[in-house]
Structure 1
Amino acid sequence: MSELPTQRSDARDYVRSLVRTVPDWPEPGVQFRDITPVLKSARGLRTLVDIFVDRYFDARLDYVAGLDARGFLIGPIVAYELNVGFVPIRKAGKLPWKTVHESYDLEYGSATVEIHADACDAGDRIVLIDDLIATGGTMLAGKALLERLGAKVIEAAALIDLPDLGGAQRLRASGLPVFTICEFEGD
């Protein structure tokens, strides 16, 4: 059995090596960054989670908030390892109780995300997590929802940054620090 990478850069390089690029999906010209090989690999999943846990171990978090849908795959595991709760931020119409919502623009339209009105309290410290940062719209909407409930979003975290789409830059410009494990040039 091989050992887990011990150096942070080795761990990040290893996780990046597992991300599969699917050309021309969901439409011609798009290079889709598929994280399922990372999740499929026991070593890859452990390394991914360990990177986030190491980063946030001493951050005095109250919650990890995950964005629908792939933030739901990573976020609860990280929350469990940090011994904090998990807050789902869902696409509109998916939560069964009283919600607050935030709409945002997409490249070809708009979308809305929502959160339960009692998902967190004023002053709660939260890291917001997803699989990747593209244009940053979903993360900004999640941040707005959490802040509307009074929480302090300490950082946006993702496995992948797509810097050519400018999302991480938009998040930083909004005052939200960003942490990503790796980046891929292009769409």
Structure 2
Amino acid sequence: MIFDEFTIKTLIRPVPDFPTPGVVFRDITPLLQSPKALRMVADSLIQRYVESDFTHIGALDARGFIIGSIIAYELNKPLILFRKKGKLPADVLVESYQSEYGEAFLEVHADSLCEGDSVLLLDDLIATGGTFIAAAQLVRRMGAQIYEAAAIIDLPELGGSQKLQDMGIPTYTLTAFELKER
């Protein structure tokens, strides 16, 4: 199946003033409801990473779990969950970060990774980069490295992709929206 960025972009619903006034939330629900579009997204990521040399998929809470689980299954890689605070049952490592909405916390099971592991981080979008940066810090605290940070959507004006690249973390997204795009 050929990737069609236009189709993908038309299935990402802009929701003005959510969750706070002035924010345009990029809702991937319509994309997930289209079997063709979801397959297009998954196939594009699978093709990109099928011969790549990393050991784990790291999925970011919560929409990253959807695409991360598909890619982990298809590439036969272990799936690591990066969750919001208080959601994991065993010993965890915690990292605070600033999101576009304020301070938040990300957790991962402390025994998820070992030195020498390499992780592909996946989420639905890169905005300010806070969640990806927190996940990257957690990965590094366990002695592992980041292979790449990937998402369906980039919001380049918010600077997240640039922050990740400045940290030495390559980024990849399927599409991007400028803030003025409604």
User: Residue type matched to 1:91 in 2?
Assistant: K
Question: In the TM superposition, what is the alpha-carbon distance from 1:121 to its structure 2 partner?
Answer: 1.3
**Alpha-carbon separation, structure 2, partners of 1:147 and 1:13:** 36
1:124 is matched with 117
**Does residue 69 in structure 1 map to residue 50 in structure 2?**
no
User: Any unmatched runs of 5+ in structure 1?
Assistant: none
2:30 is matched with 37
**Alpha-carbon separation, structure 1, partners of 2:100 and 2:75:** 35
User: Residue type matched to 1:167 in 2?
Assistant: G
Question: In the TM superposition, what is the alpha-carbon distance from 1:12 to its structure 2 partner?
Answer: 2.8
**Alpha-carbon separation, structure 2, partners of 1:108 and 1:83:** 35
Match of 2:175 among 156, 160, 182: 182
**Alpha-carbon separation, structure 2, partners of 1:108 and 1:35:** 19
Q: TM-score, normalised by structure 2?
A: 0.94
In structure 1, the residue corresponding to 2:119 is in which secondary structure? Answer: strand
User: Residue type matched to 2:173 in 1?
Assistant: T
Moved over 4 A (4+): none
In structure 2, the residue corresponding to 1:141 is in which secondary structure? Answer: helix
Match of 1:114 among 107, 117, 120: 107
In structure 2, the residue corresponding to 1:90 is in which secondary structure? Answer: strand
**Does residue 52 in structure 1 map to residue 45 in structure 2?**
yes
1:152 is matched with 145
**Alpha-carbon separation, structure 1, partners of 2:176 and 2:38:** 18
User: Any unmatched runs of 5+ in structure 2?
Assistant: none
In structure 2, the residue corresponding to 1:95 is in which secondary structure? Answer: coil
Q: Is residue 72–residue 88 contact of structure 1 (8 Å, CA) maintained in 2?
A: yes
**Alpha-carbon separation, structure 2, partners of 1:83 and 1:14:** 28
Match of 1:78 among 66, 71, 76: 71
- Which deviations, in whole Å up to 9, do the C-alpha atoms of 1:102-158 show, x marking residues without a partner? 111233431110110111111112100110011001100000101111111110000
**Alpha-carbon separation, structure 2, partners of 1:177 and 1:12:** 21
Q: Is residue 11–residue 51 contact of structure 1 (8 Å, CA) maintained in 2?
A: no
User: Residue type matched to 2:174 in 1?
Assistant: I
Q: TM-score, normalised by structure 1?
A: 0.92
In structure 1, the residue corresponding to 2:168 is in which secondary structure? Answer: coil
- Which deviations, in whole Å up to 9, do the C-alpha atoms of 1:50-85 show, x marking residues without a partner? 111111111122111011111111101111011111
In structure 2, the residue corresponding to 1:127 is in which secondary structure? Answer: strand
**Alpha-carbon separation, structure 1, partners of 2:160 and 2:76:** 29
Question: In the TM superposition, what is the alpha-carbon distance from 1:19 to its structure 2 partner?
Answer: 0.8
Q: Which moved more, 1:37-46 or 1:27-36?
A: 27-36
